[in-house]
Amino acid sequence: MKALLTLLLTSSLFAHEPVRARKAMVVAQEPIATDVGVDILKRGGNAYDAAVAVAFALAVTYPTAGNIGGGGFALIRTASGETNFIDFREKAPAGATRDMYLDKDGKPTRDSVSGWRAVGVPGTVRGLELMHKKYGKLKWADLVKPSVGLAKNGFELSYSVARGLKSAERQLGGFPESKRLYLNNGAFYDAGYRLRLPELARTLDRIAKRGPNEFYEGQTAKLLADGMAKNGGLVTLEDLKAYQAKERKPLMGKYHGHDIIASPPPSSGGIGMIQMMGVLDRLDYAKAGMGSAKLAHALAETMRRYYADRSQFLGDPDFVKVPVATLTSPAYVAQRAATITDRATPSSEIQHGPVPAEESTETTQISIVDKDGNALSLTYTLNGGYGSGVTAPGLGFLLNNEMDDFSVKPGSPNMYGAVGGQANAIAPGKRMLSSMTPTIVTKDGKLLLVIGAPGGTRIITGVMQAILNVIDFKLNIQDAIDAPRLHHQWQPDRLYLERGWSPDTAEILRKMGHTVETGAGGVSNVHGILVEDRWLQGAPDGRSNGKAAGY
């Protein structure tokens, strides 16, 4: 009881009512971009039009993760109930090789994290194009135009964006264009400064007027390929021309009378969500109550088992056989649940489950529901904050460092500490495994929840806990998102508790055998929309500077 009281009191310090609107709602991680989306909806655009406009706006106003030089996923549910998943994850260039980031002693270098060689073939523009062609209503140029104006005329830097740019000096400072544009040549920008990005404005203007092919075959593509060739990067004009976004079938799961519409591979999130919810259902975890050590223990043990599976079996389904059906089957889930006791199981004693071999942290989130009930959860990324740190000369946009999401050396951790296996090894043209987890929940055939998050490997656990808080603990969307979260990813063998968990709970968990770490850092930044009887509830994560708005 004391632990629960402490958690609730701490949570109340930052919990607040969600934003409510009658017709439509946009939630994004940066306020200016949210307003761009709401304006598109008011002008007659649908959720998918708004998502295109918000994504391009974020490429200007949220440089840490908003992008046209990265990639991501879009999970779609139309008002008629049609579901779709658009995969615009980056790909390894044709010149990539399995051991390209190992030194002469076989040890991983930093080339997969920083610089030109860290860049995968960008997919964002192709993904937005595919979504717009299939589901959009307004003209493409009208959706890109707001971002052109923001880049050309400038936008005022918020305190958080200005602080973020200054803190990224190490990542950005070694590249002349990045240092000039985003660090003011080392003098940095203060909050309130109107940042203008003329090179980016010209790039976006070409994409608006000439269409998405401009990025992959036009002047933009040629300038990008030229920069790569001059600086040791691997992405060529042929790589850009060959890139295509893909439609995939969403995964479907059930939890306590709700249907979970989840992300398929190369996302690792949907499999994780369905498997972990199945395990938790068998543990009857919610009876222990929010904030309790028993609840935290059940979550942690469930998480560590899934992440062991993730490291072994998940990768690009176009290259490896991913055992989706087995990993989410009732029999397999029951087997994993049966290994959980009232003591922590050391990760060194946990391996992946017995799946047959032949079945073998910076991101940003957009959640939108329009007046007709069309819904979208879109997560896209540069991978690490500001990606590779490289700004393409003459183009004004930052490039991803997504190659680090491959298993650079199977069995060794990446920048997020995640350990990967052979299924996620580097290969030309292959999509790297992702933790991005855009998710939609329905009940009795009606839309209930549109949700997703940035946050590296913590995305999956953060999104899942917010969903559980809505379904099991009946919280409104803002409270469900703002409640303290935890994270365990198998390796390293560490249970991380956000600020807000009771010290008593942490101590009980240590006595149960957990290695507990606490801190102020967040377990992802979840953004979501909850559909209630006559209202839409919108909630940006209280850990972020995001904004929910609607009409």
Q: Is residue 218 part of a domain?
A: yes
Total count of domains within the chain: 1
Are 55 and 212 spatial neighbours (Cβ–Cβ below 8 Å)?
Answer: no
Whole-prediction pTM: 0.93
Q: What is the pLDDT of residues 41-95, one digit of tens each?
A: 999 999 999 999 999 999 999 999 999 999 999 999 999 999 999 999 999 999 9
Q: Is residue 503 part of a domain?
A: no
* Environment class of 112 (CB within 10 Å of its CB; exposed 0-12, middle 13-18, buried 19+): buried
Are 267 and 246 spatial neighbours (Cβ–Cβ below 8 Å)?
Answer: no
**Contacts of 92 by beta carbon, 8 Å cutoff, 6+ apart:** 120, 121, 403, 406, 426, 427, 428, 429, 430, 431, 432
CA-CA distance, 471 to 12, in Å (whole number)?
20
Mean pLDDT score, 230-235: 97
Residue 368: pLDDT over 90: yes
Tokens standing for 477? 């969307």
Q: Is residue 456 part of a domain?
A: no
In a 13 Å sphere around the CA of 294, the CA atoms on its Cβ side amount to: 9
Q: Is residue 161 part of a domain?
A: yes
Q: What is the pLDDT of residues 50-60, one digit of tens each?
A: 999 999 999 99
* Environment class of 296 (CB within 10 Å of its CB; exposed 0-12, middle 13-18, buried 19+): buried
CA-CA distance, 378 to 199, in Å (whole number)?
26
Which range has the worst mean pLDDT, 207-211, 438-442, 456-460?
A: 456-460
- Please write down the long-range contacts of 498-503, taking CB distance under 8 Å and 24 or more positions apart: 498/522, 498/523, 499/10, 500/7, 500/10, 500/11, 501/7, 501/291, 501/296, 502/2, 502/3, 502/4, 502/6, 502/7, 502/10, 502/291, 503/6
Q: Is residue 256 part of a domain?
A: no
Q: Which residue shows structure tokens 């992702």?
A: 434
| Domain ranges, residue 219 | 39-66+91-246+363-372+383-424
In whole angstroms, what separates CA 382 from the centre of its chain? 10
DSSP string across 177-224: HHHHHHSGGGT---TT-EE--HHHHHHHHHHHHH-THHHHHSHHHHHH
pLDDT of the residue at 13? 42
pLDDT band for position 16 (cuts 50, 70, 90)? confident
Does the annotation mark 363 as catalytic? yes
Q: Is residue 506 part of a domain?
A: no
Mean pLDDT score, 162-166: 96
Are 67 and 391 spatial neighbours (Cβ–Cβ below 8 Å)?
Answer: no
Q: Is residue 435 part of a domain?
A: no
pLDDT of the residue at 1? 43
Angle, helices 459-471 vs 269-283, to 10°: value is: 50
Q: Is residue 412 part of a domain?
A: yes
What residues are paired with 248 via a beta bridge?
85
Q: Of the residues 64, 363, 381, 437, which is catalytic?
A: 363
SS3 344: coil
